């Protein structure tokens, strides 16, 4: 039973609860003027890794929210595999992050909005681990709106 210790917010579905946590991370990125994408890794109902996009701040094109969350979760567990974990991420992972998820052997990936340009599912659906279950569309509008507003604001500034 994956959500056995899920007691904080019984009124909403676990996937929505944890996606809200990923959205909080996206808002941290937004406050830093980073592209607002956030992620959390959950194991047995506990958040064991958090991350938000930091590519500007770290001058690192690989500093995506998912990569930060995978590293944090692996550090927490003391091992590189995330076999009984779920990644919640506000926007569909790119092929780099989907590729990294393969190496973690993560059980589930739950994402909010599709990324029509860089999302892995349009490029190569086989890139994730065959045992990884993919769920999309959780709090999709909230996740997409954060991105839309960010890029609208960017465009009006330039
Ligand atoms: Zn990525």
For ligand 1, the distance from its centroid to the CA atom of residue 127, given in whole angstroms, is 13
In order, the DSSP letters of 36-63 are --EEEEEETTEEEEEEE--TTTTT-TT-
66 part of the active site: yes
For residue 28, give the CATH number of its domain: 3.40.140.10
CA–CA dist 79, 70 (Å, integer) = 11
Number of domains in the chain: 1
For the chain, residues with pLDDT lower than 70 are 1-10, 158
Q: What pLDDT shows up at residue 100?
A: 98
Write out pLDDT tens, residues 31-58.
999 999 999 999 999 999 999 999 999 9
Parent domain of 124 = 14-157
Q: What pLDDT shows up at residue 156?
A: 87
Q: What pLDDT shows up at residue 10?
A: 55
CA–CA dist 83, 42 (Å, integer) = 11
> Which burial class, exposed, middle or buried, applies to 118 when counting CB atoms under 10 A from its CB (0-12, 13-18, 19+)?
middle
Q: Is the pTM of this model over 0.95?
A: no
* Cross-strand pairs, 50: 40
Residue 50 in domain: yes
CA–CA dist 9, 15 (Å, integer) = 11
- Active-site entry in 66, 92, 133, 140: 66
For ligand 1, the distance from its centroid to the CA atom of residue 24, given in whole angstroms, is 18
Binding residues: 64, 94, 97
Residue 55 in domain: yes
Residue 1 in domain: no
Binding residues for Zn(2+): 64, 94, 97
Residue 7 in domain: no
């Amino acid at each position: 039973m994956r959500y056995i210790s899920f007691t904080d917010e019984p009124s909403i579905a676990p996937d929505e609860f944890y996606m809200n946590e990923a959205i909080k991370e996206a808002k941290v990125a937004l406050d830093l003027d980073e592209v607002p994408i956030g992620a959390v890794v959950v194991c047995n109902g506990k958040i064991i890794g958090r991350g938000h996009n930091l590519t500007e701040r770290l001058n690192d094109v690989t500093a995506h929210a998912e990569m930060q969350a995978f590293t944090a979760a692996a550090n927490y567990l003391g091992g590189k595999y995330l076999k009984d974990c779920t990644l919640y991420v506000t926007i569909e992972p790119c092929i780099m992050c989907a590729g990294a998820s393969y190496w973690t052997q993560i059980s589930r990936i739950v994402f909010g909005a599709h990324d029509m340009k860089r999302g892995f599912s349009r490029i190569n659906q086989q890139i994730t681990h065959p045992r990884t279950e993919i769920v999309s569309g959780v709090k999709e509008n909230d996740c997409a709106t954060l991105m839309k507003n960010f890029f609208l604001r960017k465009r009006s500034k330039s």
